[in-house]
Structure 1
């Protein structure tokens, strides 16, 4: 079977449609996850006689306006992403549905999916573009499929959907603390029975957290800090251990952590790291400006002492067990399934 994630540049094309959500549905999404979202559809990519993927390698975008029933713009390639973002932001609709072709499927070639984003929202379009490409540098190289995944700091769920398509048999627990982001995340994943959403922060223990907006004012980098229980505006935080217990899982075999400086917190107590035993792969987006001196060194020491090796892939520190790490080196050939 063809696997679309075999190169550094992801193969995908996007059709952007203005979603015609009635005002009642829009209100439902603002209030909670009860809005109805069309089911995603799978589609095999075309392959030649040797199983080589023939999907288009150029990102292509198209915008249509359902209200007037005609095309707003012609096809554009990926270099015009900023122009497309501007066009989306001009709509009066509260949500835009993005149809994506070329999402990698671990066993089925290419899939198609749809994603809700918010026009005019300061980070959704960037998260969309970023989330469709972050995994291609390392996950596609591995002869291994995780059965359990933790996606912490999921934002609106773009990378979550990519993981759900790449690993359709995996149980995926998703954590996002910012309430507005999490409502869209819930809507984006509600048709995926293997995805479980927690509107919480991730911490070293169950606690109460306050939300701090990042210095750049954008909504993809909310920072959490522990506060007293009952503090106005606080939200619940969960530990890795409590998530494993809640979903009756032995471990998270793959962990994606993009939690804006809180990554050091879950490694803080050496006697509280039993959850690391079953982890085989971890991708960390480290935020040096948000961590204390020595925190990064401590995390590295903890992981190396438990048999992990690190390689850099884009903005992620990818920590792999020593049986998987050789496959992440650039000089290694494409792995054969094991």
Structure 2
């Protein structure tokens, strides 16, 4: 938890000034910088949030904590949350703070993101990091591609789909949602957040009937700029099920009418 002694001992005069501004309501949180990181102290959060300087981390932070893209009114109390495409764990931290009773599974394939993710979720014992890529089938090997658009923009592809070998940074094993549900004894996914930079095209290719009817709320960002036609594919699948939906920020939000009635 944030306290004055910690801030003063670490940031001295700068910390005192920021702490006073926070207490007076002039700023929503305290933000400090060192050589490599941006460190953010937020009221009521268990630990600081760490972002990498000169990366897309700060944009992701603003989307979640300033624009409040995941501040959704759910007609249920979430107990199981799956964060597919967890990046550095900001959504997991947000959900864990808002729903401390929930188990959060953070699925992230890229190593440098995982390093910061683990740092950000350290104080949140109900958050579990899974260093894998979400896919329609488990135990496949995907290549991680750096498209040069920032740390939030790594994409995953089968080796047969990769056209530029110079962009391949590593490989990762896949896990299917139905496998995760079986392994972790998950009967219902309360919130499934999906931000996987176009890999939703593969996720909705097949086997979705194993997990989609058991999902109360799907929050998904679609990436037609990476995979033209993925929005059409996702909506073609969703129209076969009884979901209401609306757009919030960059995300489509789907509610399972059958599970929430």
TM-score (norm 1): 0.64
Match of 1:290 among 214, 223, 226: 226
Answering whether residue 31 of structure 2 is matched by residue 97 of structure 1, we say no
Q: Please, what is the CA RMSD of the aligned residues?
A: 2.9
Answering whether residue 254 of structure 2 is matched by residue 319 of structure 1, we say yes
Answering whether residue 230 of structure 2 is matched by residue 275 of structure 1, we say no
Q: Distance in 2 between matches of 1:226 and 1:251?
A: 29
Answering whether residue 184 of structure 2 is matched by residue 247 of structure 1, we say yes
Match of 1:234 among 156, 171, 176: 171
Query: Rg: which structure is higher?
Result: 1
Equivalent pairs counted in the alignment come to 242
Q: Counterpart of 1:161?
A: 93
Aligned residues of 2:246 and 2:254 also touching (Cα < 8 A): yes
Query: Structure 1 residues 123 and 78 mapped into 2: Cα distance closer, same or farther (>3 Å)?
Result: farther
Partner SS state of residue 143, structure 1: coil
Q: CA offsets, 1:144-172, max 9 Å, x none?
A: 11221111111111111110122222221
Alignment of 1:1-338 (within 5 A): 40=1, 66=9, 69-71=12-14, 75=21, 88=33, 91-92=34-35, 94-101=36-43, 111-132=44-65, 133-136=68-71, 139=72, 141-206=73-138, 207-216=140-149, 218-227=150-159, 233-269=170-206, 271-293=207-229, 295-322=230-257
Structure 1, unpaired ranges of 5+: 1-39, 42-63, 102-110, 327-338
Q: CA offsets, 1:214-271, max 9 Å, x none?
A: 343x11111111237xx983111211112112222123121000110011211101x5
Report deviation, 1:126.
1.9
Q: Distance in 2 between matches of 1:238 and 1:78?
A: 41
Q: CA offsets, 1:117-162, max 9 Å, x none?
A: 24424122222222212112xx2x2331122111111111111111
Report deviation, 1:78.
6.0
TM-score (norm 2): 0.81
Structure 2, unpaired ranges of 5+: 161-167
Q: Counterpart of 1:18?
A: none
Q: Distance in 2 between matches of 1:225 and 1:145?
A: 35
Report deviation, 1:290.
1.4
